[in-house]
Amino acid sequence: MALKRVLSGMQPSGKLHLGNVVGAVNNWLKLQEEYDSFFFIADWHALTTHYEHTENLVQNKREMMIDWLTVGLDPEKATLFVQSDRKEHAELHPILSMITPLSWLERVPTYKEKMAQIQGRDLSTYGFLGYPVLQTADILLYKSDIVPVGIDQLPHLELAREIVRTFHHVYKKEIFTEPQSKMTEIPKLTGNDGRKMSKSYGNALFISDPEEEVRKKIMSYVTDTARIKKTDPGSPENCNLFPLHKIFTNQEKNNEIVESCKNASIGCVDCKKIAVDSVNKYLEPIKEKRREVEALKDDIVDMYKQGTDKARTIAQGTMELVNKTIRI
């Protein structure tokens, strides 16, 4: 039996940070070993919220291409490409748009939330409303069986399945696979300010940050605010730094830290220093790999072009079938 196909995309926000890595990409590393995997940089999706800010898009895509390779995504194992290099995504999108009721899109939670939360950007566009339809096109184009996503994206997958059913109903032919979501375990990484680690909050630890930068960023973490003096007992659950320990410090030391924090036998400064070491140690092989990857120069783009070529047969095959089915 053929391997099941996995597909996921990521918007080109630029350099990867630790949150991206432990949240999504590390998961993809496992998947590329077991499935026929497709991972792509979703640059058209980036336009839905940033159409007036394209000045950094080329650089952001390049940074993401490099970072994906440095953490271990492997073009020999997975098909890596850039969304806008495969025009079939844009061919399938309007076709799916025709059969998608407006009301379905208006009730998607990410749509309502972003409209309410994001200030200073124009989100009252047709493109932004249609974000999940474009995402559905990405998924259906490759007949993806499994789509690994974070919890916020589950409604998009539900919508994708509804669009599949509608298509099959309208055109009386079952040509698509109903994609299943695969929820990614996302350990919550917080930034120094206690908010979710995110490039847009300016609190991210990038995987390419030099050791000194990592040190500075970690030393600036606001820890348990109830712990005013070193002699006050602390609680790791109320500490923004502790998630870093949970992920990057070994179990034994971790237990020690929890104990010593609670009985005030360790100070936050010393505790942070341990986190600096843990994170820098984790990043060491990734930076080693970066040197190899950066030496490839123009070949980096070529690797993604090869992915685009590998994706072609399937994407074109799907579009032929779609166009025949709807008599276009």
Q: Where are the beta strands (DSSP E) in the chain?
A: 5-10, 36-41, 78-82, 146-149, 180-183
CA 91 to chain CA centroid, nearest Å: 24
Identify the CA nearest to 161 among candidates 136, 178, 144, 182.
Answer: 178
Would you give the binding string for ligand TRP spanning residues 9-48, x where CB under 6 A is met?
A: xxx------------------------------x--x---
30 is catalytic: no
Q: Is 227 in the site for ligand SF4 (CB under 6 A)?
A: yes
Identify the CA nearest to 254 among candidates 232, 238, 278.
Answer: 278
Q: Which helix (H) or strand (E) segment is 285 a member of?
A: helix 268-295
Of residues 4, 199, 287, 289, which has the active-site annotation? 199
- The nearer residue to ligand TRP, 155 or 267, going by C-beta atoms, is 155
- The nearer residue to ligand SF4, 214 or 300, going by C-beta atoms, is 214
Would you give the binding string for ligand TRP spanning residues 144-183, x where CB under 6 A is met?
A: ---x-x---x------------------------------
Task: Select the span of 7-15, 207-215, 242-250, 300-308 touching ligand TRP (CB under 6 A).
Answer: 7-15
139 makes contact, choosing from ligand TRP, ligand SF4, none, with CB < 5 to 8 Å by partner type, with ligand TRP
> Is beta strand 146-149 parallel, antiparallel or unpaired with respect to 78-82?
unpaired
Structure tokens at 110: 């990410």
Q: Which of 46, 95, 129, 139 binds ligand TRP (CB under 6 A)?
A: 139
Q: Is 261 in the site for ligand SF4 (CB under 6 A)?
A: yes
Please tell me the distance from the alpha carbon of residue 328 to that of residue 324, in angstroms, as a whole number.
Answer: 6
As annotated, the active-site residues are 114, 196, 199
